[in-house]
Amino acid sequence: MSEVILDELFAEARKAADSAYVPYSKFRVGAALLTDDGTVIIGCNVENRSFGLTICAERTAVAKAVSLGFRSFKALAVSTPDSVTPVGPCGACRQVLSEFMDPSAPVIFAGSGSDSVKTSLGVLYPYDSLHELGRT
């Protein structure tokens, strides 16, 4: 996947972070998923005073995409503008993403600083039991 496409996807994730509902943590996160047909689906984190009910930006984007009929994603971008350093998807998001993305799918994440991480879902989630069991 080209750097230009990943940069454009990250720009969408950055815009999505502006919609985050974060009255408690003040930590905005935006995500952008690229579907197989080139559609970009965005999501943001939505907090709740009962933190266990908070939903991450990545899972918001997945739920939105699935509700629109998409089932396969080619790439993910995550923006955390309230952190100088890049912050990757949490374990729960990695698990959900593995349901819909190939391990080779590119993932980019960055904060407000100049550093970014460009990797793949398989590197982020190397022992995906669902897919590993299918190989045995």
Q: Which residues are catalytic?
A: 58
Provide the residue count of the chain.
136
Q: How many CB atoms lie within 10 A of CB 60?
A: 23
2: which strand partners? none
H-run or E-run covering 32 = strand 30-35
Cα dihedral sign for 11, 59, 63, 130? positive
Inter-residue contact 40 to 32 (CB < 8 Å): yes
Q: Which pairing describes strands 73-79 and 40-44: parallel, antiparallel, or unpaired?
A: unpaired
